[in-house]
Amino acid sequence: MKPVHAAIVYCRVSSKKQELDGDGNGSQEHLCRNHAAKLGVTVEAVYTDSKSGFGDYMERPGMVGVLRHLKANRSKRYVVIFDDLKRFARRTRFYWELRDRLAEDFGAVVDSPNFRFEDSPEGRHHETITVAGGELEREQLRRQAIQKMTARVERGYAVTAAPVGYEYRSVKRSGRILFPKEPEASIVREALEGYACGRFESQAEVQRFLESRPEFPRDRKGRVHNPRHRDAETAHLCRPRQRALLECLFAEGRARGADQCRNL
C-alpha cells in the first residue's frame, strides 16, 4: 500500500438524541485517534454526523465535509478512519458507492480499528457480507418497530407524539397512555366543540379563539401557529393519521377523556 500523509476521522450517531443523551461521537473519535496513532499518521480533521447512515451519504453534512476536505487537498493521500462499517454507511449500495468514490476520485483509503480491510476478491466479499449484515439488522429492527407500533395502535394505544391538550403518563402494565393536560385540554375541547356545533365557522376563527387564550401553547415567536406542528384544531380535524389514531383510542377507550369527544 502506498504511504499516506494524514488521517481524517469520521464519526456518526443515528440521531441528535444519541448525540446529546449519550457519549455521542466522543468514544468513536477516541478509538479512531488511537488507531491513527498506531498507523503512525496525524489526524488532520474530524467530521461528525448525527444522522441515519441508511440514506444517501450526500445528505450527511459530516460526510460531505470529508469529501470537500479531500477535494481541497488532492496533493495529499489520506486514510479515512471510522469506528465501524455501520458508521460509514448502513446500506450496501451507498457503502460501495462511497468507498469507490474515495479511492477513484481522491486516492484515499479507509481503515477501522474494528475491521481488517483486504485488497483481494475474498476481502471485498467479506466486506460486502459484513455491510449487508448490518443493513439486514437495520431492516429487521425497523420491521419489528413498525409491527409493535401497529399492534399497539390496534389495541387502542397512542404511539405518536401527544397532540396538544394531551400528555403521556406511565401506567402499570399498560405503558404510556394519553391523559388530558390542563389547561390546554379544556381549551382544545372548547375549540373542537365550537367548530363542531357551528360556533366557529372556519379554521381562522378557531385560531383566533386559541390566540385569545394566553394559556395555549405558542411557538418560539409567540404565535399559536407553528409551521412545524399544525395547531390543535387542524391536527385533530384535518390530519388522516391523527383521525385514525383517535378513532382507535375512542373505540378502545384508552385515552382518558376520549369519551368526551365521541360525538364531535
Model pTM greater than 0.85? no
Yes or no: say if 200 and 192 are a contact pair by the CB < 8 Å rule.
no
Strand locations in the chain, DSSP E?
Answer: 6-13, 43-50, 78-82, 109-111, 166-171, 175-180
Domains of the chain plus CATH, in order, are 6-143 (3.40.50.1390), 155-261 (no CATH)
pLDDT over threshold 70, residue 34: yes
* Pairwise CA distance, residues 239 & 237, whole Å: 6
Task: Read off the pLDDT of each residue in 221-243 and give the average, rounded to a whole number.
Answer: 51
Dihedrals phi, psi of 38, to nearest 5 degrees: -65, -30
Q: What is the mean pLDDT of residues 177-198?
A: 86
- pLDDT higher for 240 or 103? 103
pLDDT of residue 174 exceeding 70, the answer is: yes
DSSP H or E stretch at residue 36: helix 26-39
Query: What residues have CB less than 8 Å from 80, skipping those under 6 apart?
Result: 7, 8, 9, 10, 66, 102, 108, 109, 110, 111
DSSP letters for 169-203: EEETTTEEEEEE-TTHHHHHHHHHHHHHHTSS-SH
The DSSP bridge pattern shows strands 6-13 and 78-82 to be parallel
